[in-house]
């Protein structure tokens, strides 16, 4: 069956630009998570959705970051006024519920020049 | 602060030998632990998990051991193969939905 998919796989942008990163979770998974992974580090939690609502956005670094999941399936992570420090791999994961195994997508590699 | 960490950042192992990757955690309230494998340019891939009411769990060629007394977790890979070369992360779930990852151990399999 299909796993978690993310688009684009790579994104290069200029400082100050706006970017959107998309995540398609495993079909039927109600829980969706965004993580950020810097080079040489483990993933760090950003935000968690249960259904359509963001149940916990405490990991978002600042108000330039925002995520939505309007229909409880696909999610979009939005970054405004990108900075060079935003360069990282952005990972999406989904699970059948919040206490079950999280399955990760391939990630979007964001480079801010 | 509380964290999940791996004892060694790198591990070199001869093909066919067994590998042991270690992980220490500090939050005694954690009740769920997961091992992920991440190959270059890919997302973390689930390997095996274990809940705090168990001390051992086996999968295909992999075994996870949990020692709650010393807050230690290990992943054993039997008969290591070239395809096992990757970065391995232990992750800790502290009773909610957030996973807390260590920095990872890079495993290199020598032919």
pLDDT number for residue B96: 78
Res B6 pLDDT > 70: no
Q: Give the SS3 label for residue A107.
A: coil
Q: What is the mean pLDDT of chain A?
A: 95
Q: Quick: pLDDT tens for A72-107.
A: 999 999 999 999 999 999 999 999 987 789 999 999
pLDDT number for residue A1: 54
Q: Quick: pLDDT tens for B101-111.
A: 988 999 999 99
Kindly identify which residue of chain B lies nearest to residue A57, measuring between CA atoms: B98
* Cβ–Cβ gap B98/A59 under 8 Å: yes
More confident: A107 or B93:
A107
Q: Quick: pLDDT tens for B24-41.
A: 987 888 889 999 999 999
User: How far off is chain A from B70, nearest CA to CA, in Å?
Assistant: 23
pLDDT number for residue B3: 47
Beta bridge partners of B18: none
For chain A, strand residue ranges (E) read 5-7, 10-13, 19-24, 31-37, 44-50, 53-56, 65-68, 75-79, 88-95, 103-104, 108-112
| CB contacts, 8 Å: A44 with chain B | 101
Res B81 pLDDT > 70: yes
Q: Fill in the DSSP letter of residue B78.
A: S
| CB contacts, 8 Å: A7 with chain B | none
């Amino acid at each position: 069956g299909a796993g978690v998919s993310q688009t684009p796989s790579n994104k290069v942008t200029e400082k100050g630009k706006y970017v959107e990163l998309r995540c398609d979770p495993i079909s039927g998974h109600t829980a969706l998570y965004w993580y950020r992974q810097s080079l040489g580090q483990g993933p760090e939690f950003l935000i968690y959705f249960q259904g359509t609502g963001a149940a916990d956005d405490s990991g978002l670094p600042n108000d330039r970051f925002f995520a939505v999941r309007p229909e409880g399936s696909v999610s979009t992570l939005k970054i405004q006024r990108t900075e060079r420090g935003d360069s990282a791999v952005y990972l999406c994961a989904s699970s059948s519920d919040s206490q079950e195994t999280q399955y990760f997508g391939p990630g979007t590699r964001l480079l801010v020049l | 602060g509380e964290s999940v960490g791996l004892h060694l950042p790198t591990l070199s192992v001869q093909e066919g030998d067994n590998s042991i990757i270690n992980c220490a955690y500090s939050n005694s309230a954690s009740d769920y632990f997961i091992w992920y494998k991440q190959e270059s340019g890919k997302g973390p891939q689930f390997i095996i998990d274990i809940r705090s009411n168990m001390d051992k769990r086996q999968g295909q060629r992999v075994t996870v051991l949990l020692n709650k007394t010393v807050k230690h977790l290990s992943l054993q890979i039997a008969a290591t193969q070239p395809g096992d070369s990757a970065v391995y992360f232990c992750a800790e779930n502290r009773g909610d939905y957030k996973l807390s990852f260590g920095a990872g151990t890079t495993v290199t399999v020598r032919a």
